[in-house]
Structure formats: structure tokens, C-alpha cells
Amino acid sequence: MVGMTRPDYTLTVNCPDQKGIIAAVTQIIAAGGGNILNLSQHTAVDVNIFLLKADFSVDETFAQAAFETTFQEVAERFQMDWRLHDKAARPRVAILVSKTSHCLYELLLKHQDGELECDFPVIIANHSDLAAVATQFHIPFFQVDPAKGKAAYEADVQKILEDWKIDTVVLARYMQILSPDFTRRWAYQVINIHHGFLPAFMGAKPYHQAWHRGVKIIGATAHFANENLDQGPIISQDTIQVPDTCSIAEFVQMGKDVERKVLFEALKSFLNRQVFVYGGRTFLLP
């Protein structure tokens, strides 16, 4: 949501559902010098969890450290899991790619258009095909070599991510499986796009699977990568109707538009702090 006054902070809270949480939270914000611009709140009744996101601007009396101290007291009373995000600190996001360009272009073009509140300091690839695209957008491009063996190769990736102070990793049709060590180290910070409607059609060649099954709809799924391939918490999904007069090659082609849309939406929601993880799944607040 775009406002004429831009928010300075986003506060995210989740805790067991109880009385009076919203009043308590909003009162601390008001008392600390904050003005709430947008507040989203949801109670997931099936698992009794309360979720809240508040975007607020601040006046000159606001002091972040003091706010956090005061808030922690309330947080303990309500058993809150919470975090205050300073909007001025833009996350640094690395994009990992292989040979296919449509997801990479989508992220770079939307970023250029001001729709993604992050920096893309570096693009990492296991092939050289997309180096020219990185250069067009003036972003350093690193090619790493899976032939070295997974451990050595992932160490190279890890080193680049550290050198460039990366917060979050986006796998934009990156065709390598990450090790459990890697996904654990980057838990809930690696976003992958899978070119199928999960949990159907996990693994390789989902469009071939879908065509032979005779599905009438194909989809794509963006999710956090974890140690189980294509089984991490889902962030975003979309589908399209496919006429039965389509070939497998046409499925692949038509699927690209869904993939790029879903990956963009997932990253955007993530950057806007809309994505909460609880009980093995995500909850996205509006």
C-alpha cells in the first residue's frame, strides 16, 4: 500500500490469541510518537494464533531503542514473537539463476519500476547464459561451478553471499538442489519458484507430468526452500486454464507468465513484511 506519508517502521507480531492485544499494541505505538498508517490483523481460529502487522510513521520524539524496551514488556505478557523493521534499511537480495531469463527479467524490470523495496547487489549463476542480462542492468554477475562438488560449490556461493552482505536469496528458475546445510543456514530467507502447482507435481518436469495426467489447469508456486525439495512453506501461487489443444511445449511456454508473476508477488509480499510462518505454513496479511 502506497501512502502520501511513507511509513518509517513496520511492526510484526504473532502470539496466542487473547483479549486486548490490539489496544495494547496501538497504545504503545501512539505513546512512542508513532502514527499508524495501515494495520492488518488476523486471528487464525483453526490454530488459535493472532497475527498483526502495523506500518507507522514517527515524529521527532520517537526513539527506537526506548520503544523496543517498552514493547518487550508487553510482548512478554502476551508471549509475543515480534519484530520491528526499519523501512530505511533495504534488504539486500541475491538472485540465483541458471539459463532461463523470464523470472530474472521480471524481478529486474519490476525493481527498475520501483515496485520492490530491496537492493539486488549481485546475480549468481551456474551457467554463463544470463551474464549479458546482468550487465544490461549494471549488476555484478558471478558464475559458480557445480562440477566442483556440492560442498565446495556451495561454499563458493556462501562466500559471495557473505562478501556482499546478502540478507535474502531468490532462486529465479535456478536448477540446482541446495543442501540441507545451506537451507537451514538460510531458513526462511531463500525463496524458490517451482514451475508447478504444489503439492501436485513436485520434482522434475512438472509440465510433462501435468500434460500426461491431462490436467486442465497449470500453476506455479513460490515457497521458502527447506531441506525437503519443493515442500517448504508456500508463499504465493497462481494457475491458468490450459486448453487440451495445447502441447507440452505450449504448457512450458504458457507457464512462464505464471512463474514470473508468482515469484514477483512472493518477493514483494516478503519485502512488505506480509509473510508470517506458523505451524509449518505461511499466513499472508493484506
DSSP track, 57-108: EE-TT--HHHHHHHHHHHHHHHT-EEEEEETTS--EEEEEE-S--HHHHHHH
Can 17 be counted among the known catalytic residues?
no
Beta strands in the chain (DSSP E): 9-16, 34-44, 49-58, 81-86, 92-97, 119-125, 141-143, 168-171, 190-194, 217-224, 234-241, 275-278, 281-284
216 belongs to the binding site for a second copy (CB under 8 A): yes
Q: Which of 83, 212 has the CB closer to a second copy?
A: 212
By CB under 8 A, which span of 61-69, 72-80, 81-89, 199-207 interacts with a second copy? 199-207
By CB under 8 A, which span of 82-90, 163-171, 175-183, 213-221 interacts with a second copy? 213-221
36 belongs to the binding site for a second copy (CB under 8 A): yes
Q: Which parts of 137-196 interact with a second copy (CB under 8 A)?
A: none
The answer to whether residues 233 and 253 touch, using CB atoms and an 8 Å cutoff, is no
Binding residues for a second copy, rule CB under 8 A, total: 73
Active-site residue among 230, 238, 244, 257? 230
The answer to whether residues 116 and 110 touch, using CB atoms and an 8 Å cutoff, is yes
229 belongs to the binding site for a second copy (CB under 8 A): no
The answer to whether residues 224 and 232 touch, using CB atoms and an 8 Å cutoff, is yes
238 belongs to the binding site for a second copy (CB under 8 A): yes
By CB under 8 A, which span of 79-87, 139-147, 176-184, 227-235 interacts with a second copy? 227-235
Annotated active-site positions, please? 230
